[in-house]
Chain A
Amino acid sequence: MVTESIIEDEHFKLLTFLIVSARGCVEEPPIYGPLRLIDAAEKLIALMDKMGKADESLREIMKTIHERKFSVMKDEAEFIKLLDELVLKISRIIKEAR
Protein backbone atom coordinates (compact mmCIF):
# COMPACT_ATOMS: atom_id res chain seq x y z
CA MET A 1 0.00 0.00 0.00
CA VAL A 2 1.34 3.45 -0.89
CA THR A 3 1.43 5.64 2.20
CA GLU A 4 3.66 8.54 1.21
CA SER A 5 2.41 11.46 -0.81
CA ILE A 6 3.16 11.23 -4.52
CA ILE A 7 5.09 14.50 -4.31
CA GLU A 8 7.54 12.85 -1.92
CA ASP A 9 8.11 9.88 -4.22
CA GLU A 10 11.64 10.09 -5.66
CA HIS A 11 10.64 8.53 -8.98
CA PHE A 12 7.80 11.03 -9.31
CA LYS A 13 10.18 13.90 -8.54
CA LEU A 14 12.50 12.79 -11.32
CA LEU A 15 9.56 12.29 -13.68
CA THR A 16 8.24 15.82 -13.15
CA PHE A 17 11.74 17.25 -13.48
CA LEU A 18 12.15 15.56 -16.87
CA ILE A 19 8.77 16.66 -18.21
CA VAL A 20 9.02 20.26 -17.05
CA SER A 21 12.64 20.49 -18.19
CA ALA A 22 11.69 19.20 -21.63
CA ARG A 23 9.22 22.05 -22.02
CA GLY A 24 11.65 24.58 -20.58
CA CYS A 25 14.41 23.55 -22.99
CA VAL A 26 12.28 24.74 -25.92
CA GLU A 27 12.95 28.34 -24.92
CA GLU A 28 15.91 28.30 -22.56
CA PRO A 29 19.56 28.86 -23.50
CA PRO A 30 20.76 25.78 -25.45
CA ILE A 31 23.49 25.01 -22.89
CA TYR A 32 20.77 24.51 -20.25
CA GLY A 33 19.77 21.29 -22.04
CA PRO A 34 23.02 19.56 -20.97
CA LEU A 35 22.66 21.13 -17.51
CA ARG A 36 19.18 19.63 -17.07
CA LEU A 37 20.41 16.25 -18.24
CA ILE A 38 23.32 16.03 -15.81
CA ASP A 39 21.12 17.45 -13.06
CA ALA A 40 18.71 14.59 -13.80
CA ALA A 41 21.67 12.19 -13.75
CA GLU A 42 22.60 13.45 -10.27
CA LYS A 43 19.02 12.93 -9.10
CA LEU A 44 18.96 9.45 -10.64
CA ILE A 45 22.16 8.37 -8.91
CA ALA A 46 20.77 9.69 -5.61
CA LEU A 47 17.70 7.56 -6.21
CA MET A 48 19.80 4.50 -7.09
CA ASP A 49 21.83 5.10 -3.94
CA LYS A 50 18.70 5.09 -1.79
CA MET A 51 17.74 1.79 -3.40
CA GLY A 52 21.15 0.29 -2.71
CA LYS A 53 22.08 0.22 -6.41
CA ALA A 54 24.86 2.83 -6.46
CA ASP A 55 28.45 1.88 -5.77
CA GLU A 56 31.34 4.17 -4.90
CA SER A 57 32.10 5.00 -8.53
CA LEU A 58 28.53 6.18 -9.13
CA ARG A 59 28.54 8.15 -5.90
CA GLU A 60 31.75 9.79 -7.10
CA ILE A 61 30.00 10.82 -10.33
CA MET A 62 27.10 12.23 -8.30
CA LYS A 63 29.51 14.22 -6.13
CA THR A 64 31.36 15.54 -9.17
CA ILE A 65 28.12 16.72 -10.78
CA HIS A 66 26.92 18.32 -7.55
CA GLU A 67 30.14 20.23 -7.02
CA ARG A 68 30.74 21.42 -10.58
CA LYS A 69 27.45 21.68 -12.48
CA PHE A 70 27.11 25.41 -11.83
CA SER A 71 30.27 26.04 -13.82
CA VAL A 72 27.76 26.38 -16.66
CA MET A 73 26.94 29.85 -15.31
CA LYS A 74 30.54 31.05 -15.20
CA ASP A 75 32.69 29.09 -17.60
CA GLU A 76 31.12 27.13 -20.45
CA ALA A 77 34.43 25.53 -21.46
CA GLU A 78 34.87 24.24 -17.90
CA PHE A 79 31.32 22.87 -17.97
CA ILE A 80 31.96 21.01 -21.23
CA LYS A 81 35.19 19.63 -19.73
CA LEU A 82 33.09 18.35 -16.84
CA LEU A 83 30.74 16.60 -19.28
CA ASP A 84 33.71 14.92 -20.97
CA GLU A 85 35.03 13.76 -17.60
CA LEU A 86 31.63 12.30 -16.74
CA VAL A 87 31.49 10.43 -20.04
CA LEU A 88 34.95 9.02 -19.34
CA LYS A 89 33.98 7.97 -15.81
CA ILE A 90 30.82 6.21 -16.97
CA SER A 91 32.75 4.59 -19.85
CA ARG A 92 35.21 3.09 -17.37
CA ILE A 93 32.31 1.64 -15.38
CA ILE A 94 30.95 0.09 -18.57
CA LYS A 95 34.37 -1.23 -19.59
CA GLU A 96 35.02 -2.86 -16.25
CA ALA A 97 31.54 -4.34 -15.92
CA ARG A 98 31.23 -8.11 -16.18
Chain B
Amino acid sequence: MEPEELLNIIKGRRSVRSFLEKKIPDEHLKLIMEAGIWAPSGSNIQPWQFVLVREPELIRKIKLVSPGLFGNPDALVVACVDRNRYERAGKLGYTLSLMDVSMAAQNMMLMAYSLGIGSCPIASFSKLALKEILGLPDNFEPVLMISLGYPEKWPSPPERRPLSEVVYVDGYGKHYRG
Protein backbone atom coordinates (compact mmCIF):
# COMPACT_ATOMS: atom_id res chain seq x y z
CA MET B 1 0.00 0.00 0.00
CA GLU B 2 1.19 3.50 -0.80
CA PRO B 3 1.43 5.83 2.22
CA GLU B 4 -0.96 8.23 0.50
CA GLU B 5 -3.64 5.51 0.40
CA LEU B 6 -3.56 5.10 4.16
CA LEU B 7 -3.56 8.86 4.69
CA ASN B 8 -6.56 9.18 2.39
CA ILE B 9 -8.45 6.60 4.45
CA ILE B 10 -7.55 8.44 7.66
CA LYS B 11 -8.56 11.79 6.18
CA GLY B 12 -11.73 10.43 4.54
CA ARG B 13 -13.31 8.96 7.66
CA ARG B 14 -16.10 11.15 8.95
CA SER B 15 -18.49 10.93 11.88
CA VAL B 16 -21.71 9.80 10.22
CA ARG B 17 -25.01 10.57 11.92
CA SER B 18 -27.59 9.49 9.34
CA PHE B 19 -27.70 6.06 7.81
CA LEU B 20 -29.43 4.18 5.02
CA GLU B 21 -31.60 1.15 5.78
CA LYS B 22 -29.10 -1.36 4.49
CA LYS B 23 -27.60 -4.38 6.20
CA ILE B 24 -23.86 -4.67 6.75
CA PRO B 25 -22.62 -8.11 5.67
CA ASP B 26 -21.44 -10.34 8.53
CA GLU B 27 -18.02 -10.73 6.96
CA HIS B 28 -17.52 -6.97 6.94
CA LEU B 29 -18.49 -6.72 10.60
CA LYS B 30 -15.96 -9.44 11.34
CA LEU B 31 -13.24 -7.45 9.56
CA ILE B 32 -14.18 -4.38 11.61
CA MET B 33 -14.03 -6.30 14.89
CA GLU B 34 -10.76 -7.92 13.91
CA ALA B 35 -9.24 -4.53 13.13
CA GLY B 36 -10.15 -3.51 16.67
CA ILE B 37 -8.40 -6.32 18.47
CA TRP B 38 -5.17 -5.67 16.55
CA ALA B 39 -4.75 -2.27 18.18
CA PRO B 40 -1.78 -1.80 20.48
CA SER B 41 -2.33 -2.01 24.21
CA GLY B 42 -0.19 -1.10 27.19
CA SER B 43 1.74 -4.16 28.44
CA ASN B 44 -0.30 -6.12 25.91
CA ILE B 45 -3.08 -6.31 28.48
CA GLN B 46 -5.82 -5.98 25.85
CA PRO B 47 -8.23 -4.54 28.42
CA TRP B 48 -11.14 -4.31 26.01
CA GLN B 49 -14.36 -6.25 25.72
CA PHE B 50 -16.78 -5.46 22.91
CA VAL B 51 -20.49 -6.05 22.55
CA LEU B 52 -21.59 -6.13 18.91
CA VAL B 53 -25.27 -5.24 18.76
CA ARG B 54 -27.20 -6.24 15.66
CA GLU B 55 -30.70 -6.90 16.94
CA PRO B 56 -32.85 -3.95 15.76
CA GLU B 57 -35.02 -3.91 18.88
CA LEU B 58 -31.95 -3.84 21.09
CA ILE B 59 -30.50 -0.98 19.03
CA ARG B 60 -33.77 0.91 19.53
CA LYS B 61 -33.54 0.34 23.28
CA ILE B 62 -29.93 1.50 23.40
CA LYS B 63 -30.83 4.57 21.37
CA LEU B 64 -33.34 5.53 24.04
CA VAL B 65 -30.56 5.87 26.62
CA SER B 66 -27.97 7.38 24.28
CA PRO B 67 -28.55 11.08 23.55
CA GLY B 68 -25.38 11.18 21.46
CA LEU B 69 -26.54 8.42 19.13
CA PHE B 70 -28.03 9.96 16.00
CA GLY B 71 -29.64 8.24 13.04
CA ASN B 72 -30.58 4.59 12.77
CA PRO B 73 -27.40 2.54 12.47
CA ASP B 74 -27.44 -1.06 11.35
CA ALA B 75 -25.07 -2.13 14.10
CA LEU B 76 -23.43 -0.86 17.25
CA VAL B 77 -20.18 -1.75 18.92
CA VAL B 78 -20.21 -1.10 22.64
CA ALA B 79 -16.58 -0.87 23.71
CA CYS B 80 -15.94 -1.70 27.35
CA VAL B 81 -12.88 -1.77 29.54
CA ASP B 82 -12.54 -4.80 31.79
CA ARG B 83 -11.43 -3.98 35.33
CA ASN B 84 -10.17 -7.51 35.87
CA ARG B 85 -7.69 -6.91 33.08
CA TYR B 86 -6.70 -3.25 33.41
CA GLU B 87 -5.96 -3.56 37.13
CA ARG B 88 -3.00 -5.72 36.19
CA ALA B 89 -1.35 -2.53 34.90
CA GLY B 90 -1.37 -0.94 38.36
CA LYS B 91 -2.38 2.65 39.04
CA LEU B 92 -2.04 3.58 35.39
CA GLY B 93 -4.25 0.70 34.31
CA TYR B 94 -7.53 2.56 33.92
CA THR B 95 -5.99 5.47 32.01
CA LEU B 96 -4.10 3.09 29.75
CA SER B 97 -7.25 1.05 29.14
CA LEU B 98 -9.03 4.16 27.85
CA MET B 99 -6.14 4.84 25.48
CA ASP B 100 -6.13 1.22 24.34
CA VAL B 101 -9.84 1.03 23.67
CA SER B 102 -9.66 4.36 21.81
CA MET B 103 -6.98 2.98 19.50
CA ALA B 104 -9.10 -0.12 18.93
CA ALA B 105 -12.07 2.07 18.10
CA GLN B 106 -10.05 4.08 15.58
CA ASN B 107 -8.91 0.86 13.90
CA MET B 108 -12.54 -0.24 13.63
CA MET B 109 -13.70 3.07 12.19
CA LEU B 110 -10.92 3.13 9.60
CA MET B 111 -11.70 -0.43 8.57
CA ALA B 112 -15.37 0.50 8.34
CA TYR B 113 -14.56 3.49 6.16
CA SER B 114 -12.39 1.36 3.85
CA LEU B 115 -15.47 -0.86 3.37
CA GLY B 116 -17.73 2.10 2.57
CA ILE B 117 -19.36 1.92 5.99
CA GLY B 118 -19.94 5.04 8.06
CA SER B 119 -19.29 5.21 11.78
CA CYS B 120 -19.51 7.59 14.70
CA PRO B 121 -17.79 7.33 18.07
CA ILE B 122 -20.25 8.12 20.86
CA ALA B 123 -19.57 8.85 24.50
CA SER B 124 -22.92 10.47 25.32
CA PHE B 125 -24.86 7.53 26.69
CA SER B 126 -25.90 6.37 30.13
CA LYS B 127 -23.36 3.80 31.30
CA LEU B 128 -25.72 2.74 34.04
CA ALA B 129 -28.62 2.16 31.65
CA LEU B 130 -26.43 0.45 29.08
CA LYS B 131 -25.04 -1.97 31.65
CA GLU B 132 -28.59 -2.81 32.71
CA ILE B 133 -29.93 -3.26 29.16
CA LEU B 134 -26.99 -5.39 28.00
CA GLY B 135 -26.61 -7.30 31.26
CA LEU B 136 -22.94 -6.38 31.56
CA PRO B 137 -21.02 -7.72 34.57
CA ASP B 138 -19.71 -5.29 37.20
CA ASN B 139 -16.15 -5.46 35.91
CA PHE B 140 -17.20 -4.25 32.43
CA GLU B 141 -17.42 -0.49 31.99
CA PRO B 142 -18.84 0.71 28.68
CA VAL B 143 -16.74 3.72 27.70
CA LEU B 144 -17.39 4.22 24.00
CA MET B 145 -19.99 3.23 21.47
CA ILE B 146 -19.47 3.08 17.71
CA SER B 147 -22.46 3.31 15.42
CA LEU B 148 -22.10 1.58 12.05
CA GLY B 149 -24.13 1.82 8.87
CA TYR B 150 -24.10 2.95 5.29
CA PRO B 151 -24.16 6.75 5.25
CA GLU B 152 -26.98 8.75 3.74
CA LYS B 153 -24.18 11.13 2.86
CA TRP B 154 -20.57 11.67 3.88
CA PRO B 155 -20.36 14.91 5.89
CA SER B 156 -17.83 17.55 4.93
CA PRO B 157 -14.68 17.54 7.07
CA PRO B 158 -14.34 20.06 9.88
CA GLU B 159 -11.22 22.22 9.78
CA ARG B 160 -8.08 20.83 11.37
CA ARG B 161 -5.66 22.81 13.49
CA PRO B 162 -2.53 23.02 11.33
CA LEU B 163 0.64 21.04 12.04
CA SER B 164 2.47 24.31 12.63
CA GLU B 165 0.16 24.99 15.58
CA VAL B 166 0.01 21.58 17.22
CA VAL B 167 3.50 20.17 16.59
CA TYR B 168 6.71 21.38 18.20
CA VAL B 169 10.16 20.19 17.24
CA ASP B 170 12.75 19.28 19.87
CA GLY B 171 10.89 20.92 22.74
CA TYR B 172 8.28 23.57 23.38
CA GLY B 173 8.43 26.79 21.43
CA LYS B 174 9.87 25.78 18.08
CA HIS B 175 6.91 25.23 15.80
CA TYR B 176 6.98 22.57 13.17
CA ARG B 177 7.35 24.01 9.70
CA GLY B 178 7.17 20.80 7.71
Nearest-Cβ distance from residue A10 to partner chain B, whole angstroms: 12
In the assembled complex, the CB of B122 is this many whole angstroms from the nearest CB of chain A, namely 11
B57 to chain A, nearest CB (A): 8
Within 8 A of A (CB), among B120-144: 124-126, 129
Picked from A13, A23, A24, A70, the residue with its CB within 8 Å of the CB of B64 is A13
| Cross-chain contact of B66 among A7, A20, A28 (Cβ < 8 A) | A20
| Contact in complex: A20, B129 (CB < 8 Å) | yes
Shortest distance from the beta carbon of B158 to any chain A beta carbon, whole Å? 5
Given A24-B124, A70-B17: A7 in contact with B67 (beta carbons within 8 A): no
How many Å lie between the Cα of A41 and that of B57 in the bound state? 24
**A24-B17 in contact (CB<8A):** no
Pick from B60, B126, B159: contact of A20, CB under 8 Å:
B126
A contact residues around B57 at 8 Å (CB): 7
Report how many residues on chain B are interfacial, defined by Cβ distance under 8 Å. Answer: 17
Q: How far is the CA of A7 from the CA of B65 in the complex (A)?
A: 11
Smallest distance from the beta carbon of A69 to chain B beta carbons, Å? 9
Grouping DSSP codes into helix (H, G, I), strand (E, B) and loop, the A interface class, with mixed when no group exceeds half, is helix
**B60 near A7: Cβ-Cβ < 8 Å:** yes
Within 8 A of A (CB), among B60-107: 60-61, 64-68
In the complex, the answer to whether A73 meets B158 with C-beta atoms within 8 Å is: yes
Contact residues in B for A36 (Cβ distance below 8 Å): 67
Chain A residue numbers with a CB within 8 Å of B17 are 70
A28 touches B158 (CB 8 A): no
A16 to B158, Cβ gap below 8 A? Answer: no
Q: How far is the CA of A32 from the CA of B60 in the complex (A)?
A: 22
Residues of B within 8 A of A20 (CB): 64-67, 125-126, 129
Residues of A within 8 A of B129 (CB): 20
In the bound complex, residues from chain A placing their C-beta under 8 Å from that of B159 are: 74
B120 CB to nearest chain A CB (Å): 11
- Inter-subunit contact B60/A16 (CB<8 Å): no
Alpha-carbon distance between A32 and B125 when the two chains are bound, in angstroms: 13
Contact of B124 with A16 in the complex, beta carbons under 8 Å: no
Quote the shortest CB–CB distance from A74 to chain B (angstroms).
5
- In the complex, chain B residues whose CB is within 8 Å of the CB of A23: 126
**What 8 pairs across the A-B complex have the smallest Cβ distances?**
A16-B64, A74-B158, A21-B67, A20-B126, A20-B65, A24-B124, A24-B67, A36-B67
